[in-house]
């Protein structure tokens, strides 16, 4: 599966917010067809790493390339190459799921997307609420729509920050399918989550962050099951 140019190539990433060093020298390499779990305790630097990869905040130091594009040089191109489900927010409260899809299609220049849009809304259990404004959505409904939108334009890199948080079993299934589909068409997927077992089901690789630094890079299978739980706990202490 490995190829010469990784879809995601992060080397020596530092992100500082004033006095706070949120990310401290992190390396990430993710290839086409990989799904990588980003794990670690609250405040470990997972969301900040995701935000840099999505082109939302700039790196303070280090190289960050998405599909060979340097995020510092061309953050707009990186935004085009990535699909990003942020950990919170991202939806327009007064817009419906269908309007979100229309907006995404217009911004991304997608043609003939309507049938797929309807299919995706059904897959994520949002068909019945396709024309209801999202301000009344439950947390899990909002998560499901955010994952759908992130994957909708079939990006080269799919970034899902806490996609399973508060999501019901059917929503989890739809999200796992979206990850599998993205991998099958050659995208690299990064999934930040606290749900280790689900992450191991969804992913092939795992990165563990602690205090902003990478403490382990493993095969997802190394963190699966009871034995994996012990390995993970030891990495967090």
Residues of this chain that bind ligand ATP (CB under 6 A):
17, 20, 22, 40, 42-48, 87
The tally of CA atoms less than 13 A away on the side-chain side of residue 235 is 24
Is residue 3 within 8 A of residue 186, CB to CB? The reply is no
In the complex, minimum distance from the CB of residue 37 to ligand ATP, in angstroms, rounded to a whole number: 12
DSSP assigned state of 44:
S
Sheet holding 61-66, edge to edge: 20-30, 8-17, 61-66, 69-70
| Termini Cα distance of the chain | 33
What is d(CA 218, CA 216) in angstroms, rounded to the nearest whole number?
6
Q: Based on CB atoms, which residue is closest to ligand ATP, 45 or 97? A: 45
In the complex, minimum distance from the CB of residue 186 to ligand ATP, in angstroms, rounded to a whole number: 27
Locus of tokens 């508060």: 166
Q: Based on CB atoms, which residue is closest to ligand ATP, 9 or 87? A: 87
Beta strand 35-39 with 157-161: parallel, antiparallel or unpaired? unpaired
Q: Based on CB atoms, which residue is closest to ligand ATP, 49 or 120? A: 49
In the complex, minimum distance from the CB of residue 193 to ligand ATP, in angstroms, rounded to a whole number: 9
In the complex, minimum distance from the CB of residue 52 to ligand ATP, in angstroms, rounded to a whole number: 10
Q: Based on CB atoms, which residue is closest to ligand ATP, 135 or 217? A: 217
In the complex, minimum distance from the CB of residue 22 to ligand ATP, in angstroms, rounded to a whole number: 3
Q: Based on CB atoms, which residue is closest to ligand ATP, 16 or 79? A: 16
What is d(CA 166, CA 152) in angstroms, rounded to the nearest whole number?
21
What is d(CA 188, CA 9) in angstroms, rounded to the nearest whole number?
11
């Amino acid at each position: 599966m490995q190829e010469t140019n990784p879809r995601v190539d992060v080397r020596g990433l530092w992100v500082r917010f004033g006095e706070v060093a949120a990310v401290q020298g992190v390396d990430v390499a993710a290839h086409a067809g990989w799904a990588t779990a980003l794990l670690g305790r609250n405040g470990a630097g997972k969301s900040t790493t995701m935000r840099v990869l999505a082109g939302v905040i700039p790196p303070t130091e280090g190289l960050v390339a998405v599909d060979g594009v340097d995020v510092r040089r061309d953050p707009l191109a990186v935004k085009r190459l990535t699909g990003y489900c942020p950990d919170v927010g991202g939806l327009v409260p007064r817009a419906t799921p269908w309007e979100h899809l229309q907006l995404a299609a217009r911004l991304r220049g997608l043609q003939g997307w309507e049938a797929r849009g309807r299919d995706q809304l059904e897959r994520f259990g949002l068909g019945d609420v396709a024309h209801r404004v999202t301000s009344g959505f439950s947390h899990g409904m909002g998560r499901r729509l955010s994952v759908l939108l992130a994957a909708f334009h079939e990006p080269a890199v799919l970034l899902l920050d806490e996609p399973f948080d508060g999501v019901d079993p059917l929503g989890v299934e739809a999200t796992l399918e979206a990850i599998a589909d993205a991998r099958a068409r050659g995208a690299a997927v990064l999934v930040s989550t606290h749900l280790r077992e689900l992450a191991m089901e969804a992913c092939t690789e795992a990165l563990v962050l602690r205090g902003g630094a990478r403490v382990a890079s493993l095969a997802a299978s190394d963190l699966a099951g009871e034995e994996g739980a012990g390995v993970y706990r030891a990495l967090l202490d």
